[in-house]
A and B are shown apart, each in its own frame.
Chain A
Amino acid sequence: MTVTQLAEKLELKKLSNGEDKEVNSCYISDLLSRVLGGCSPNDVWITVQTSLNMVAVAVMADISFVILPEDVTAPVNVILKANDEGLPVYSSSKSAYELALLIGDLL
C-alpha cells in the first residue's frame, strides 16, 4: 500500500507533499535515536515531535511518511522543510494507538 492510499483510508489531513512511497509497517516513538535504531525502511512513523530534527530523522531512516496524532500541528518552517525533502507529513485527530490498530488491519 502506498502513502496516498493509506492516508486516504485513515482519513488523514495532508500537511506536506512528498514521494508516494510504499508503506511496509509502522513505528511509534518520540525519541529520535530510538527511531533511528528501531524503525525499518518504508515505515510510517507516528510521533508528536514537530521540530526540524523530526524531518531529518525521517529522511535519514527512509521513513515513507509521518503522522502527527491527536491533531498535533507542525510549525510552518518544519512543513516547508518536509516539502523540500519530499517527506509527506500528515495529521490525524486519532491517537497513536487508534492509528496503529487501523494501520495493522490495513497493511
Chain B
Amino acid sequence: MSQVLTQKYVVGADDFAAAGAASAAVKKTLKQLNFPVDFIRRASIAMYEGEINMVIHGGGGVASVEIYEDCVKIILTDKGPGIPDIEQAMQEGYSTATDSIRELGFGAGMGLPNIKKQSDDFEITSEVDKGTTLIITINSNS
C-alpha cells in the first residue's frame, strides 16, 4: 500500500457558499488518478458529508486526505463543541441542526450514517468542548 499523495484543506466555519470545495478538489484528483468511478463517488459523498459537518457543527476544521494506490484515507479534525453521545449521533434522523441550517437542505440526520455506509472503515472520536475527529477509509477494490 504505497502512498501516492497527501492533500490538506482548511475548511471554514459557517461558510456554506464554499462548503464542498475540498471534496470537489479531492474528487478531481481521484479522477485524474483514474480510480474507478464507484470508488470516487463513495469517497466524494463520504468526504462531502464530513466537510459539511465541520462547516455546520465543528466550527470549521482541517481535512487531510491520504491517497494510496488502492485506497483513500480521509481524516477530518475539528475543534468544535464535540459530540456528547456518538451512538445517538450515528442514528439515522438524529440531528442538532438549527432551522436556518435545515432551510438549506441540511439537518436530515443522515450525515454520519451516510459516511459509515460509504466507508470500508470508519472511526469517530469526540470529546465535549475539545472537538471531533473522523477517520474514513475507502478501498478501491471493495
Contact = CB atoms under 8 A, between A and B. Distances in A.
A62 B110 contact: no
Interface residues of B, number: 26
13 contacts: A31-B110, A32-B104, A34-B110, A36-B110, A37-B114, A37-B117, A41-B37, A52-B16, A53-B104, A56-B20, A59-B44, A60-B44, A61-B44
Contacts of B110: 31, 33-34, 36-37
Contact of A33 (B17, B24, B106): B106
Instruction: Summarize B's interface: helix, strand, loop or mixed.
Output: helix
Contacts of B48: 36, 56-57, 60
**Which of A41, A51, A56 lies at the interface centre, i.e. has the most chain B CB atoms within 10 A of its CB?**
A56
Interface of A: 30-34, 36-37, 41, 49, 51-54, 56-57, 59-62, 85
B8 interface: no
Interface of B: 16-17, 19-20, 23-24, 27, 37-38, 41, 44-45, 48-49, 52, 104-111, 113-114, 117
A60 B48 CA distance: 7
A50 to B, nearest CB: 10
B113 A37 contact: yes
A53 B24 contact: no
A61 B45 contact: yes
B108 A31 contact: yes
A72 to B, nearest CB: 13
B23 A60 contact: yes
